[in-house]
Amino acid sequence: MMTFKPASLLRTTAWAVVSLAASAACAQTPLKADPALGQQIAAGACAACHGADGQSMLSTNPRLAGQHAGYLVKQLNDFAKPANDKTARVSPIMSGFVVGLSAQDRANVAAWFASQTPALDTAKNPDTLTLGEQIYRGGLRDKAVPACTGCHGPSGAGIPSQYPRLAGQFAAYTETQLKAFRDGTRHNSAAMQEIAQRLSDKEIAAVADYMAGLR
């Protein structure tokens, strides 16, 4: 028999997600960014993997077009941290690029990608649409998993500087990141680590596919 956690526990978890993510966002010091200078950086350092306009063609490399600048800056800063930093985002490839960028460079390139038109995609697996929608819009009460809409919005657009845009992102990339949060290889968001640990492979694949098709 399925048992349900009290609604108060779900509210507490959701509030913890909001508080942790908001604190991380507030830690970023905004700089006046120049997208035109960011375009120059993107054309040289980012284009091969992400496309000069952020429209990556490979699911291993995330689409960056239309992503919130504040979120992108945080990720760049996390990539630049030492690998032994518990809040770092570890990637030898990304770290190699980011360490050569100043704080202003990071703000500029983030502003460039944020100014580009977001990608559109579709969910690919009709067999998991119902489960994916349930997780995204209602959460999983029996696992105390809050609805994704609370942070990423009903259309997957996210909230600037706090929560990333998920709509149009490669499902395979989102699935990989959720699993990385779950197994601890990605640990630059305590809230996402906590949530991902409660999701099975099937649930992760379902919600990742569903989010890709959000409008």
38-67 per-position pLDDT tens digit: 999 999 999 999 999 999 999 999 999 999
pLDDT at 8 over 50: no
30 confidence band (pLDDT: 50, 70, 90): low
Which domains does the chain carry? 7-24+120-212 (1.10.760.10), 31-114 (1.10.760.10)
Q: CA 99, 152, 198, 191: dihedral to nearest 10 degrees? A: 50
- Cβ(114)–Cβ(213) below 8 Å: no
Angstrom CA distances, 136 to 2, 11, 140, 165, stand at 20, 16, 9, 13
Mean pLDDT of 147-176: 96
What is the pLDDT at residue 27? 41
Mean pLDDT of 120-149: 98
Cβ-based neighbour number of residue 150 at 10 Å: 17
What is the pLDDT at residue 161? 81
> Which residues 6+ apart lie within 8 Å of 205 measured at CB?
125, 128, 171, 175
